[in-house]
A and B are shown apart, each in its own frame.
Chain A
Amino acid sequence: MKILNKALLAAPAIAAALPAHAQDAMSLDERVNTIFAEFTGPFVSLIFAPLPGTSFPWIVLWLVVAASVFTIYFSFVQLRYFSHAVSLVKGDYSDPDDAGEVSHFQALATALSGTVGLGNIAGVAVAVGIGGPGATFWMILAGLLGMASKFTECTLGVKYRNEYPDGTVSGGPMYYISKGFKERGLPGGGALAILFSVFCILGALGGGNMFQANQAHAQIAGIVGDYPGWITGLVFAGVVFAVIVGGIKSIANVTEKVVPFMGILYVGAALVILLVNYDQIGWAFGQIFAGAFTGLGVAGGFVGALIQGFKRAAFSNEAGVGSAAIAHSAVRTKEPITEGFVSLLEPLIDTVVICTMTALVITISGQLLIDPDTGLYMLDGSAIATVDGNSGVSLTSAAFGASISWFPYVLAIAVVLFAFSTMISWSYYGLKSWTYLFGEGKTSELIFKVIFCVFIVIGAAASLGPVIDFSDAAIFAMAVVNITALYFLMSIVREELRSYSERLRSGEIKKFAH
Chain B
Amino acid sequence: MTTKLVIGLDGAGSGDRALSYATDLAKRIGDCELLVAYVIEWSPYSFQTAEENAQRHKRREEEISTAMTRVVDPAVEGLRKNGMTASGIVRHGDVAHTLNSICEKEGGHQIIVCRSSEGGITKRIFGSSTANLVMSATVPVTVIG
Contacts and interface: CB of A to CB of B under 8 A. Distances in A.
A334 B107 CA distance: 28
A106 B42 CA distance: 12
B24 interface: no
Contacts of A110: 47-50, 53
Contacts of A289: none
A252 B49 contact: yes
A126 B48 CA distance: 30
Contacts, number: 84
A330 B54 contact: yes
Contacts of B49: 110, 252, 256, 424-425, 428
A207 to B, nearest CB: 16
Interface string B43-87: 011111111011111101101100000000000000000000000
Interface string B23-36: 00000000000000
B45 A103 contact: yes
Interface stretch (A94-102, A291-299, A305-313): A94-102
A105 B58 contact: no
A96 B57 contact: no
B138 to A, nearest CB: 12
B105 to A, nearest CB: 9
B57 A106 contact: no
B44 A106 contact: yes
B37 to A, nearest CB: 13
Contacts of B54: 168-170, 330, 428
A330 B44 contact: no
Given A99-B91, A168-B55, A91 B50 contact: no
Contact of A428 (B42, B50, B56, B60): B50
B44 A91 contact: yes
Nearest to B98: A99
Interface in A74-119: 91, 94, 96, 99-107, 109-110, 113-114
B109 interface: no
B50 A101 contact: no
Interface centre among A99, A103, A332 (most CB of B within 10 A): A99
Interface string A321-344: 000001100111000000000000
Given A256-B48, A425-B49, A168 B57 contact: yes
Given A113-B47, A168-B54, A330-B50, 9 more contacts: A91-B44, A101-B57, A102-B48, A104-B44, A106-B46, A110-B47, A168-B58, A331-B53, A428-B50
